[in-house]
Homo-oligomer: A and B are copies of this chain.
């Protein structure tokens, strides 16, 4: 019904459709005088004045892409050079670079994610393996302890004379385990603490 809207809430269609718009809005357009029309190297110059192409040509995109490959940032100098090489408004070049950076970022994030994920998964497996290995070793160690006790007892039973100086009475007390052995054998049975649970809640993403 009412087509009257505050000016700051409307977008000028001149960007899209300069031809008809300029008639309805008497040359208020170009409120930003800095943006001036570049020469269009298209054959039909008149048409180029009237409208903006929606899509950049492959040629243009290729060059932009190549330039982006060299350097994601865009200095004014390069911008203007590109713009004139491509026959584009420098403004368009700037916008293209901004959008390209954003796209690059999210793509980057995506691949970083999957990379991290696979790394994470192998780590989980590895961790699990290590846990069982620790259990196994503790079991073996416990057995070895038992065996030592048995031998010690047997020796004490059989022969009362004992010249061996090294073996301590009960707990093993490893001789040069200073680096790693900050905990004694009483720590043999520790909690596995498998605190890696979240795995499949990814599936719920799209409820």
A205 to chain B, nearest CB (A): 5
A15 to B117, CA, bound (A): 43
Interface flag for A199 (CB, 8 Å): yes
Q: Indicate whether A140 sits within 8 Å of B199 (C-beta atoms), given known contacts A53-B9, A148-B148.
A: no
Interface flag for A185 (CB, 8 Å): yes
Q: Scan A1-31; emit 1 where CB is below 8 A from any B CB, else 0.
A: 1110100111111001101110010000000
Q: Scan A89-128; emit 1 where CB is below 8 A from any B CB, else 0.
A: 0000000000000000010111011111111111111110
Specify which of A143, A163, A164, A166 lies most central, judged by the most chain B CB atoms within 10 Å of its CB: A143
A131 to chain B, nearest CB (A): 6
A15 to chain B, nearest CB (A): 8
Interface flag for A61 (CB, 8 Å): no
Interface flag for A33 (CB, 8 Å): no
A90 to B164, CA, bound (A): 93
A136 touches B181 (CB 8 A): yes
